[in-house]
Amino acid sequence: MKNKIVAGNWKMNNTFSEAEDLLVAIAESIEDMRLETEIIICPPALYLEMATDIAQESNFYVGAQNVAYAEKGAYTGEISAAMLKSVDVDFCIVGHSERRNYFHETDEELAKKIDILLANQINPIFCCGESLTDRENGNFKQVIENQIKNTLFHLSVEQFENITIAYEPIWAIGTGLTATPQQAQEVHAFIRKLIEEKYGTEMAYNTYILYGGSCNAKNALDLFSCTDVDGGLIGGASLSAQDFVEIVNAAETCTKND
Ligand code: 13P
């Protein structure tokens, strides 16, 4: 039995008090649940310390949404991996399509971010996924393969053990257009095969591959029931404690049925 991971990416949402209310509501909802599922909440950087404070008394992990590719110094506005670690952050999203598209992050920069996170004992959640054009052209697998190889495959076995992957087709993010379970399964199995070829069968099995893109309380069970879908990276639906906890419950159901 492999348990699931449900991660919430809040993106640029919530004021301080809204963030506090949501964190407390999630903590209260999961308080009495004997969870197999690992929960990771990724609020905006400003609220990370509050989140790790609340997490200390609860059973969720805290992740950042971004990190600087440099160690320290004159990088106005950036937040370093050491800073994240100093407020007990355990995970960090890297390579989200919004950062690739709006902030022009390249594979080369993303590889540096992965390295600096690992050097600071923070687990990267690496996002990959194709655009609608790539999907329609039929070259989506090549795009995903390039993203993964360019950014992750320089890692040693010991380093790669700390990587979580999120498959997030860009056409499904925030659009209400979810990948079908078959589409998700096809890509997840493909990613697992790539890992197997590079790092072996055991690593391929052990690596968590999450699905993200309009995953919600209604479709989570079908998606998480796919053999190679190890959970979800949730955007919009992670902004409601009730919806988020329903998604966690879907993950629990899948683990128990496994
Ligand atoms: P939505 O769940 O809002 O589609 O966002 C998915 C996502 O981008 C998570 O990182």
214 CB near ligand 1 (under 6 Å): yes
DSSP 25-47: HHHHHHTT----SEEEEE--GGG
Say which of 38, 98, 105, 168 is annotated catalytic.
168
- 168 CB less than 6 Å from ligand 1? yes
Distance 54 CA to ligand 1 centre (A): 24
- Spacing, Cα 216 to ligand 1 middle (Å): 10
Pocket test for ligand 1, best of 5, 164, 223, 234 (most atoms within 8 A of CB): 234
Best residue among 173, 211, 223, 239 to mutate for probing ligand 1, ranked by most atoms within 8 Å of CB: 173
Task: Print pLDDT tens along the chain (258 aa).
Answer: 799 999 999 999 999 999 999 999 999 999 988 899 999 999 999 999 999 999 999 999 999 999 999 999 999 999 999 999 999 999 999 999 999 999 999 999 999 999 999 999 999 999 999 999 999 999 999 999 999 999 999 999 999 999 999 999 999 998 888 899 999 999 999 999 999 999 999 999 999 999 999 999 999 999 999 999 999 999 999 999 999 999 999 999 999 887
Residue 213 CA, closest ligand 1 atom number: 4
Two structure tokens written together for 193: 């095969």
Q: Please state, in angstroms and as integers, the Cα–Cα distance from residue 254 to each residue in 1, 112, 156, 208, 230, following that order.
A: 10, 35, 32, 15, 10
